[in-house]
Amino acid sequence: MRSLNRNLGMNVIPFIDVLLVLLAIVFVISNFIVLGKIEVDLPKGKSATQIESTKHTISITKEGVFYLNDKEVTKGELAEKMKKFASDDIVMIVSDKASVYEDFVFVVDQLKLNKIYKISMGVKE
């Protein structure tokens, strides 16, 4: 009579394969997070000064996508969130030089409707 081969150990090769795939995913995601800046090509300005204490940053890309403090929002969401800003908050608008002027005017108009007058604009020196 023949005896059955018993496999007393655990096969760790599939476990290592799964770990390597997860490690690769972590590396890809971490690089995106570190390098995942909002692509905005700023216009140049000679009279630019540095403002340190901005409370909110509104970014507009050339595709017309709005970001509030680096989080993507729609026009309607942006208008609703701006209603919650305090009147003494300093808001920086960072708009791509190729973006539609209408989007910039929308943001400034909403800020003024909410009585927020401390507005700065991001430019390159």
| Cβ count within 10 A of residue 54 | 17
Q: How far apart are CA 35 and CA 71, in angstroms?
A: 15
Among 3.40.50.300, 2.130.10.10, 3.30.420.270, 1.20.1630.10, name the CATH number for the domain at 56-121. Answer: 3.30.420.270
pTM exceeds 0.75:
no
For the stretch 54-91, pLDDT in tens is 788 888 888 888 898 888 888 888 889 888 888 888 88
Q: Classify strands 91-95 and 119-121 as parallel, antiparallel or unpaired.
A: parallel
Domain boundaries, the chain: 56-121
- Is the pLDDT assigned to residue 2 strictly greater than 60? yes
6, two tokens: 């018993």
| Distance from C-alpha of 92 to C-alpha of 100, rounded to nearest angstrom | 17
Mean pLDDT value of segment 85-108: 85
Q: pLDDT value at position 124?
A: 63
Whether the pLDDT of residue 33 is over 70: the answer is: no
